[in-house]
Amino acid sequence: MRSIIIATVPIHGHVTPLLAVARYCVERGDRVRFLTGSRFADVVQATGAEHLPLPAAANFDDRQDWDQVFPHRASLRGPQAIAFDVEHIFVRPGPAQHDAVVAAFSAEPADAVLTDPAFAGGALLLGRPLGQRPPIIVCGVIPLTIGSRDTAPYGLGLTPLPGPIGRLRNAVLNTVAAHTVFPPAERVAQAAYRQLYRGTMPYPVLDWPRHAEAVVQFSVTEFEYPRSDAPATLHFAGPLSATGSDAPVPPWWDELDGSRPVVHVTQGTIANKDYRQIIAPALDALAGENVMVVVATGGRPVSTLPALPANARAAEFLPYDELLPRTSVFVTNGGYGGVQYALRYGVPIVSSGGQEDKPEVSARVAWSGVGRRVKAEQPSAAVVGKAIHQVLHDDRYRRRAGHLAEQMRSAGGLPLLARIIDDVSVPRM
């Protein structure tokens, strides 16, 4: 039996994958403590794990409108928006996160700490030598943030450019980003590190997972950019969780009878306030088409949607394990978990570029060949409709998505993650 601490930022898309991890570890006999936001206490306890609430400085509610909390944020786009979120939403809570994890393993020893990449407390914990802290395993619930000579800086949404020209481009862009985009977040992280250890944090804050004992990415290699300088501790386990499979079947479910292609449209559970990101243009584009448009609002009342055309149906949540096998195209604003879940079923994708990590997710959709990328944050109906028709009628996308589904079925999954936990855990005397 292992004693495990799972620590995540209190954001639905980061917590949900690790609920599956918690349940699996509890069922194999491990002692699991799950440190995250108070609003997730019930779902954590339902896994059999003990819920530990984050301290007030890190215990925010992800359902709030961040543009109202931070009015300046609404005017930001692209790398500036990501840099703002890295600093204010992820790095600034880091010291409180660090203290909470230390308190947990000081009160009761732990064999391993599992975190998500956005949990900046993990970057600070690495200042302690192994032995004064448990081994850390980073669970990749967003695209890989670790830097590489083979990739552009995280947040730009740029796909790899091979060869010497690509590496030159990446070197220039990484230098520019280090001096113009991420310095505010780095200053906050460095100040927190100095306060704890009276020294300089020896890595950029986004690159901290490279220095953990292991990184387990919840995807497959075919969806992530190749890095010739990736750490040997990087593993790919495939997607590990559901994103709504327990939702009830809606009253109109019998209409999904196979007579028309099903186009599923969603903006996830966080970036679902502005339907112009993908839901509204998709509804407009497909109105009157010989398809069934199925919308999930991610928890918002269906009444908040624009008027539905005759060929559209909607629900707050949907049973994905029943819906996705019937789906011809998955249309999204780029949520990582939803994209991975669609690919489990070989469903090709149309993805728009929003904020947070979504430009990086959408770039990978196009790069991996599983779908089309719409770069605008609020695309027109014409652009969205064209992308949907391309994916719907060009079998290359479905074949490629099917290939990734095969790779996911053969990935190590939860047993692989469990073996890594056992491998990195310090033997007890």
3-state SS of the chain? CCEEEEECCCCHHHHHHHHHHHHHHHHCCCEEEEEECHHHHHHHHHCCCEEEECCHHHCCCCCCCHHHHCHHHHHCCHHHHHHHHHHHHHHCCHHHHHHHHHHHHHHCCCCEEEECCCCHHHHHHCCCCCCCCCCEEEEECCCCCCCCCCCCCCCCCCCCCCHHHHHHHHHHHHHHHHHHCCHHHHHHHHHHHHHHHCCCCCCCHHHHHHHCCEEEECCCHHHCCCCCCCCCCEEECCCCCCCCCCCCCCCCHHHCCCCCCEEEEECCCCCCCCHHHCHHHHHHHHCCCCCEEEEECCCCCHHHCCCCCCCEEEECCCCHHHHHHHEEEEEECCCHHHHHHHHHCCCCEEEECCCCCHHHHHHHHHHHCCEEEECCCCCCHHHHHHHHHHHHHCHHHHHHHHHHHHHHHCCCHHHHHHHHHHHHCCCCC
Q: What are the φ and ψ backbone dihedral angles of 364, each rounded to 5 degrees? A: -70, -30
**pLDDT tens-digit series, residues 139-160:** 999 999 999 999 999 988 999 9
pLDDT (tens place) for every residue of the chain, 429 residues total: 899 999 999 998 899 999 999 999 999 999 999 999 999 999 999 999 999 999 999 998 877 776 667 777 767 777 777 888 888 889 999 999 999 999 999 999 999 999 999 999 999 999 999 999 999 999 999 999 999 999 999 988 999 999 999 999 999 999 998 888 889 999 999 999 999 999 999 999 999 999 999 999 999 999 999 999 999 999 999 998 654 567 899 999 999 999 999 999 999 877 778 899 999 999 999 999 999 999 999 888 999 999 999 999 999 999 999 999 999 999 999 899 999 999 999 999 999 977 678 899 999 999 999 999 998 888 999 999 999 999 999 999 999 999 999 999 999 999 999 999 999 996 654
Considering the domain architecture, whether residues 178 and 276 belong to the same structural domain is answered as: no
pLDDT at 379: 92
Tokens 């195209």 sit on residue: 329
Look at residue 81 and tell me if it is in a domain: yes
Look at residue 429 and tell me if it is in a domain: no
User: Strand order in 50-53's β-sheet?
Assistant: 50-53, 31-36, 3-7, 112-115, 136-140, 214-217, 234-236
Considering the domain architecture, whether residues 280 and 299 belong to the same structural domain is answered as: yes
pLDDT at 88: 87
Considering the domain architecture, whether residues 278 and 189 belong to the same structural domain is answered as: no
Considering the domain architecture, whether residues 58 and 156 belong to the same structural domain is answered as: yes
Considering the domain architecture, whether residues 173 and 296 belong to the same structural domain is answered as: no
Look at residue 216 and tell me if it is in a domain: yes
Considering the domain architecture, whether residues 293 and 382 belong to the same structural domain is answered as: yes
pLDDT at 284: 97
Domain with 39 in it: 3-238+411-424
Considering the domain architecture, whether residues 377 and 393 belong to the same structural domain is answered as: yes
Considering the domain architecture, whether residues 401 and 415 belong to the same structural domain is answered as: no
How many whole angstroms separate alpha carbon 325 and alpha carbon 262? 10
CATH number at residue 41: 3.40.50.2000
Considering the domain architecture, whether residues 232 and 265 belong to the same structural domain is answered as: no
Look at residue 59 and tell me if it is in a domain: yes
For the chain, how many structural domains are there in total? 2
pLDDT at 43: 96
**Cα–Cα distance list, 399 to 263, 366, 367, 368 (Å):** 17, 14, 15, 12
pLDDT at 241: 67
Considering the domain architecture, whether residues 142 and 212 belong to the same structural domain is answered as: yes
Considering the domain architecture, whether residues 391 and 295 belong to the same structural domain is answered as: yes
Look at residue 244 and tell me if it is in a domain: no
pLDDT at 77: 72
Look at residue 34 and tell me if it is in a domain: yes
Considering the domain architecture, whether residues 298 and 391 belong to the same structural domain is answered as: yes
How many whole angstroms separate alpha carbon 406 and alpha carbon 48? 31
Look at residue 245 and tell me if it is in a domain: no
How many whole angstroms separate alpha carbon 344 and alpha carbon 352? 20
